[in-house]
Structures are given as C-alpha cells and as structure tokens.
Homo-oligomer: A and B are copies of this chain.
Amino acid sequence: MEIKVVKDILEANDLVANGIKEKLGKANTFMINIMGSPGSGKTCLLERTIEGFGDKFDVGVIEGDIRTSMDSERLTAYGVPVVQINTEPFGGDCHLPATAVGRAMEGLDLVSLDLVIVENVGNLVCPAEFYIGEDRKVVVLSLTEGEDKPLKYPLMFRESYALVISKLDLLPHLDIDMELVRSNALSVNPSLKVFPLSAKTGEGVDEWLRWLGREIGPGRSGG
C-alpha cells in the first residue's frame, strides 16, 4: 500500500517533468539540476558559474530552499533572473518536485535564456529520486564530507552525470584522500565526469565551465 502511493507520486512527478523538458526543448534552453548536502557549496558554484560565463551564456536560476530567500538575494547581485521556491508551505519538502519547478519556470523568460540552473534543496538523498525535466543532474560533494559518501549514498552518484568535488582549498587541512573520493564515486558510476574545484580560490573552475559550456553548446543554435 505504502509502496503504491510512493510509485504514484513518482509517476505523477515524471509526467510534469516531461512537460518541463518539452518546454525547455522548444525554447532551446539547457537545464541542470544541482544537488548536494547542505553546505556542500552549491550556491558558491552557481556564483562562480554565472561570473565565469559572463556574456557568453544567458543564465537564469531557480533556487530551492525549505525556507528563506537568502540564496536568491545572493544571486540577484549577479544581475541574473532568479526565482525562489520555498518548500515549507508544501510540508517542508526535502526535495524539489517537478510541479514546483514548473511553477517557478513561469517566472523566467525561457527563450531569452541559454541555461537554467536549478539549485535543489540541500540533501544527498531525496532529490536524486525526483526527475524535474533537467538535461543533466550534477552532484556537489564537499571534500569535508569524507571519502565514503558515494558508497553510502549511491543513488545520488548513480543518477548524476557530473560530480563537483568542492572546497579543494581545504585539502591541506583535512585527513582526506582526494583520489579515494574520486575512485569511490567512479565505482558507483563509472561514467561520472569529475570536477575537483575550489570556488574560493578558483582552482578547477575553468575545467567545470569548459565542460558545462560544451554541454550547453551543441543543443543551442545561437541566440
């Protein structure tokens, strides 16, 4: 009985997500879904990405949080359109459901955008279960979270197309084996693209931007 309900919710979600995907396709807009634990550095990655792309791509942002609009306020400083979703009125949802993303998208002028970045609710578990119509799922894992996380939270790493290993600047201060983080992630998902970087020092950010630029590129015919 309980399983049936969950299945229904996931199916209803996928229907809405398929509609979003179609809408994005018509507008020729690429969308990534950024996921990761609270404090893994998702908003910092967004800031460096928007900054790094400059005039190259027109970016819009959908910010998911249970509560507060702090991240949106941070991001509007970069002169990009931002729509905030607070899941608290919906029972403090631990993930962004496709319906919420669809509603937020009405606040964006899709045809004027090359890229929509969705920052999901900070959670290494639940968001991985909900397709929101994105082209690529990206997981951000902070170096401070430990090498074992891909093995302990495998669904997130299995579902993601790329892994950003953040806070690289802290490496000298941590008892962390960077290569073990990478190999554990690859053991769960061998085709994962891995980008170690520091949003603070900028190390590794160019590789991330180059990859993302290529992903956006082929689908776009200019605009």
Contact = CB atoms under 8 A, between A and B. Distances in A.
A6 interface: yes
A137 interface: no
A223 to B, nearest CB: 35
A2 interface: yes
Interface in A1-21: 2-3, 5-6, 9
B153 A38 contact: yes
B152 A65 contact: yes
A91 interface: yes
Nearest to A5: B5
A145 interface: yes
Contact of A94 (B65, B68, B126, B149): B126
Contacts of A153: 38, 66-67, 122
Interface string A130-157: 0000000000001011101101111100
Interface of A: 2-3, 5-6, 9, 37-39, 65-68, 70, 91-92, 94, 121-126, 129, 142, 144-146, 148-149, 151-155, 167, 169-170, 173-175, 200
